[in-house]
């Protein structure tokens, strides 16, 4: 199979490209000229583009492809406009290119986010058919990207919504590993309930979707590790992996709203994409981020290959082996 991948040099994209190449698939990657290709398989075919809306580059990317996995996008920005322009605009450009292409794609997989559907209640995970209610600019931009598919009913689009993704090479949740390694484990009071997904489990789900081409139309899947998590559980597992004791630091939920105001001002003033932004604090403050995965299990046979505790231990060791942590 010839598989085109956008965002292939990123965290998830590089893991997917390696898995596709290991299966013997031809992998074609949409990359910026400045993209770091160190984590990509040597046999991956690069297609260079300055931006996601490069029509000529998208045409080259899709030529002869059997499927495309769309991972490119922004996860944070100091402006909502930039998030919308890249996440929604990039998906629109890709779908438009696919509609124009002479290639009969078997599958277009748009990797979205749990942020697009919004937080859940503490007792009931979010299902694929629940009305979306994003609470951040990022979530709204990902929902807008998902809805692009409605303009192209002739295209075979699959939307995959993961929660927070962790694993070797991740730089966002890595910040929490670093704090626990240093002996601190900040935890919200009261604790939030959440879903997470190991990058290897997510890649397995994407491969399952690729193995099940569909006719024109769309389908939506939620994918996550098994079980309900709290940051307290995750922190204990990280501490165990490092053989360290970490001091619990309770963080009152109300403190996040207060902290969000100066962070928002700092982002605008510095014109920088802050990792801990006001939007990110709004996400963290929600009581629950749970996803139901019954549909993908029933229709594609998805089962997480690694349990969360084992995957966290593997990830913790990777950070040590690659000298991300002392």
| Residue 32, both tokens | 């910026």
Share of the chain above pLDDT 70, in %: 92
pLDDT for the residue 259:
47
In this structure, of 72-81, 135-144, 167-176, 230-239, the range with the lowest mean pLDDT score is 72-81
pLDDT for the residue 85:
95
CB 272, CB 128: distance < 8 Å: no
| Residue that wins the pLDDT comparison between 189 and 32 | 32
pLDDT for the residue 276:
53
- On the question of pLDDT at 5 being above 70, the answer is yes
**Can you give the pTM of this predicted structure?**
0.92
| Residue that wins the pLDDT comparison between 254 and 164 | 164
**Would you place residue 318 in the very low, low, confident or very high pLDDT band (cuts 50, 70, 90)?**
very high
Q: Distance between CA atoms of 188 and 197, rounded to whole angstroms?
A: 20
Mean pLDDT of 29-44: 94
The packing angle between helices 80-100 and 137-147, to 10°, is: 10
List Cα–Cα distances, 259 to 26, 192, 278, 284, in angstroms: 47, 18, 8, 12
Mean pLDDT of 210-233: 91
**Would you place residue 251 in the very low, low, confident or very high pLDDT band (cuts 50, 70, 90)?**
confident
The packing angle between helices 80-100 and 55-62, to 10°, is: 50
List Cα–Cα distances, 5 to 75, 191, 289, in angstroms: 17, 37, 28
Condensed to tens digits (0 to 9), the pLDDT of residues 77-113 reads 778 899 999 999 999 999 999 999 877 899 999 999 9
Angle (CA) 196-318-115 rounded to 5° is 20
pLDDT for the residue 76:
78
Q: Which residues make Cβ contacts (< 8 Å) with residue 153, sequence separation at least 6?
A: 216, 217, 218
- Backbone torsions φ then ψ of 266, nearest 5 degrees: -65, -40
């Amino acid at each position: 199979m010839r598989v085109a991948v956008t965002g292939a040099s990123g965290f998830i994209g590089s893991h997917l490209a390696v898995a596709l190449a290991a299966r013997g698939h031809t992998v074609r990657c949409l990359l910026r000229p400045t993209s770091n290709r160190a984590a990509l398989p040597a046999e991956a075919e690069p297609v260079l583009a300055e931006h996601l809306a490069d029509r000529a580059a998208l045409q080259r990317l899709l030529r002869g492809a059997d499927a495309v996995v769309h991972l490119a996008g922004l996860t944070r920005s100091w402006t909502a406009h930039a998030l919308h322009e890249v996440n929604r605009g990039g998906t629109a450009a890709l779908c438009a290119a696919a509609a124009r292409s002479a290639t009969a794609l078997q599958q277009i997989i748009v990797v979205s986010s749990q942020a697009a559907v919004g937080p859940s209640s503490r007792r009931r995970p979010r299902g694929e058919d629940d009305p979306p209610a994003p609470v951040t600019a990022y979530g709204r931009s990902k929902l807008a990207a998902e809805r692009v598919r409605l303009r192209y009913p002739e295209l075979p689009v699959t939307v995959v919504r993961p929660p927070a993704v962790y694993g070797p090479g991740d730089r966002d949740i890595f910040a929490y590993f670093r704090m626990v390694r240093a002996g601190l484990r900040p935890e919200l009071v009261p604790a939030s309930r959440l879903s997470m997904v190991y990058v290897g489990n997510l890649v397995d789900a994407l491969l399952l979707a690729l193995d099940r081409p569909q006719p024109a139309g769309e389908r939506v899947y939620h994918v996550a590790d098994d079980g309900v998590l709290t940051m307290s559980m995750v922190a204990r597992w990280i501490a165990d992996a490092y053989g360290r004791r970490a001091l619990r630091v309770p963080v009152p939920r109300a403190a996040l709203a207060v902290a969000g105001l100066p962070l928002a001002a700092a982002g605008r003033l510095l014109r920088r994409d802050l990792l801990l932004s006001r939007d990110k604090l709004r996400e963290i403050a929600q009581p629950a981020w749970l996803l139901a995965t019954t549909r993908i299990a029933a229709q594609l046979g998805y089962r997480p290959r690694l349990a969360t505790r084992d995957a966290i231990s593997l990830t913790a060791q990777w950070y040590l082996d690659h000298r991300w942590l002392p």
